[in-house]
Amino acid sequence: MPAEALKCKECSTTYPLDARYVCERCFGPLEVAYRAQTSSADELKRRIQAGPDTLWRYADFLPVERVPRSSLPTGLTPLVRADRLAERLGLGELWIKNETANPTHSFKDRVVSIALARAIELGFDTIACASTGNLAGAVAAHSAYAGLPAYVFIPADLEPEKILSAGAYGAHIVGIRGNYDAVNRLCTEVSGEREGWAFVNVNVRPYYAEGSKTLAYETAEQLGWELPDRVVAPIASGSLFTKVARGFQDFIDVGLVEGGAPIMNGAQATGCSPVAQAFAAGTDVCRPVKPDTIAKSLAIGNPADGPYAVELARRTGGAVDAVTDDEIRAGIRLLAETTGIFTETAGGVTAATLAKLAERGDIGPDERVVAYITGDGLKTLDAVAGSVEVTEIEPRFEDFEANVAVPA
Ligand SMILES: [Zn+2]
């Protein structure tokens, strides 16, 4: 397989490719390290283009021994040119990566695809997760396809759409009376005690995190093997944000694309913005916060990859911004009205941050910008409840004429 070892991000100690996630020496997080590519860029491109119409076409860059014989098809989501939104914001070339097109309508299908495949290779027989919502649905669906029992641990006050859809796939749902950070702590404890349980974002987290790289691979391929100048993406744990940058760097390193790494802009909700606060304060230290925002899928008060996200934004000349709940609702509306894509609150955070960057003049007129819209608006309907006006009439033509028809 292309992966070589698990490696500590802090002290570089290496470990075998098994189910572990923390360095025994320094307690730093582990990530997957790869062998140097021996194939030429042309060979790699040929293999990608001849591969399946899913994220498994990028198997040369993923940490599994073999591509699963069958799996819930994930990835190759549309990259949508957003001219009307660009015009509204005074931008040049703008693209939306529409992750609502995945099987459970969020980017989490990607990370679960990789984690599940590796968990099966490592001999696990039960799949579990600590979730802010979208992950629960993805774990439930992919486990259902694979025929494995699933346990999803969520904050009990999660949006009903996310709880019900995860339940529909037959997962055991454990609602915790506490926030995500409490859920995550409990899952860490359970994962140490339950042999045979793979918690996708705990004990097999290094493999899980690699799934987000495919967002960058696809973007580059869909842009005709070119890079964006700037990326706008949401930050919860910081994993997606940092792995998207890694994905672009992978393609640069092997010569599949030319040019410099994109500027990285992170998006958070003001009600849970430990990474944006660290960026603003000029430090890498993300002080934990108690989340209070409608963007529940981003509500991680103690983000594991926060310091790496801050460092990445700073190094690439980007930033990490935060937007209020009202701005999030406006962002959802703005995106829907100009692109036909209805996103959940996390996507509202991304759209609102994009608008803020445009307004501040951070984005040059010739820049090619890609914004990652990570989840579906049908999962957070409460956030937009009351914002739509219905013209109710009797079923009579006169009523229609009197109340609906626009005067000439
Ligand atoms: Zn270490």
pLDDT per residue as tens digits for the range 318-352: 999 999 999 999 999 999 999 999 999 999 999 99
Q: Residue 408: what pLDDT?
A: 56
Report CA(31)–ligand 1 centroid distance (Å): 11
pLDDT recorded at residue 407: 60
For residue 15, the CA-to-ligand 1 centroid distance in Å is: 10
Q: Backbone phi, then psi, for 230, in 5-degree steps?
A: -150, 145
Could you tell me if 335 and 84 are in contact, meaning their C-beta atoms sit under 8 angstroms apart? no
Q: What is the pLDDT of residues 165-199, one digit of tens each?
A: 899 999 999 999 999 999 999 999 999 999 999 99
Other CB atoms closer than 10 Å to residue 110's CB: what's the count?
28
State the distance from the centre of ligand 1 to the C-alpha of 210, rounded, in angstroms: 19
For 153, the 3-state DSSP assignment is: strand
Q: State the pLDDT at residue 387.
A: 86
The per-residue pLDDT for 60 is 98
Those residues of the chain that have pLDDT short of 50 are none
Please give the pLDDT value at position 392. Answer: 94
CA of 16 to the centre of ligand 1 (A): 14
Residue 98's φ and ψ, nearest 5 degrees, are -95, 90
Q: How far is the CA of 14 from the centre of ligand 1 (A)?
A: 8
Question: Using CA atoms, how far apart are residues 53 and 293, in angstroms rounded to an integer?
Answer: 36
Q: What pLDDT does residue 386 have?
A: 87
